[in-house]
Chain A
Amino acid sequence: DTAVSQTPKYLVTQMGNDKSIKCEQNLGHDTMYWYKQDSKKFLKIMFSYNNKELIINETVPNRFSPKSPDKAHLNLHINSLELGDSAVYFCASSPRSGGNSDTQYFGPGTRLTVL
């Protein structure tokens, strides 16, 4: 059983399009995250949700909008895609909000390529 799953694994699209990436975790965790990994492998947090509530929102363009229908799902919608959005996007989850020693469990990533 996959603990944190993401779909799709690969996403190729044209500039200006709108796309979504889905994430699901079956670990019963309260907190979920979205990270962006750029071409130099640098990982940066974008958003964090705890029990469907946004708790971290880093400096991310408004074109990116996370949505959490329930605590097991955190989707990422991106409007008006730009070339610079090309990256690998990782979803992650951890047991609880504020648990600084908690391990984060990562999904396999979604490689987004904007042409």
Chain B
Amino acid sequence: AQSVTQLGSHVSVSEGALVLLRCNYSSSVPPYLFWYVQYPNQGLQLLLKYTSAATLVKGINGFEAEFKKSETSFHLTKPSAHMSDAAEYFCAVTGTGNQFYFGTGTSLTVIP
């Protein structure tokens, strides 16, 4: 079975500070992992995904994530937060038939 756990349902950072959103996964098979962002009243947009090609994955808007098998983690980072990064972030792992298992989401607030 596949699942993800996102630690911290709410994260606040100052503008210009490091963003770190945590995701730990559980998977009975080699996982494919995704980070999506949801802006208010919008659908989900892919930030980046891990498909076993490289452990450090770079995505859009300056975000990146590192796959660490030993820690079963896929944390999302960005060196310097912008006001426009305020949104809900979802980590997901795929199971059979490309079924996504989403985490419960992390709401990011950026303080000016």
Contact = CB atoms under 8 A, between A and B. Distances in A.
Interface of A: 4, 31, 40-45, 48, 55-56, 90, 92, 94, 96-109
Interface of B: 32, 34, 36, 38, 41-46, 49, 51, 88, 90, 94-100, 102, 104-105, 107
Contacts of A101: 32, 49, 51, 94
Given A41-B38, A92-B44, A97-B98, 19 more contacts: A41-B88, A41-B104, A43-B105, A48-B98, A48-B99, A55-B97, A56-B97, A56-B99, A96-B98, A98-B96, A99-B98, A100-B94, A100-B96, A101-B94, A106-B36, A106-B45, A107-B43, A109-B41, A109-B43
A94 B44 CA distance: 13
B111 to A, nearest CB: 21
Given A48-B99, A99-B98, A100-B94, A42 B42 contact: no
Contacts of B99: 45, 48, 56
Nearest to B49: A103
5 A-B pairs with least C-beta separation: A106-B43, A101-B51, A106-B44, A43-B102, A100-B94
B54 to A, nearest CB: 13
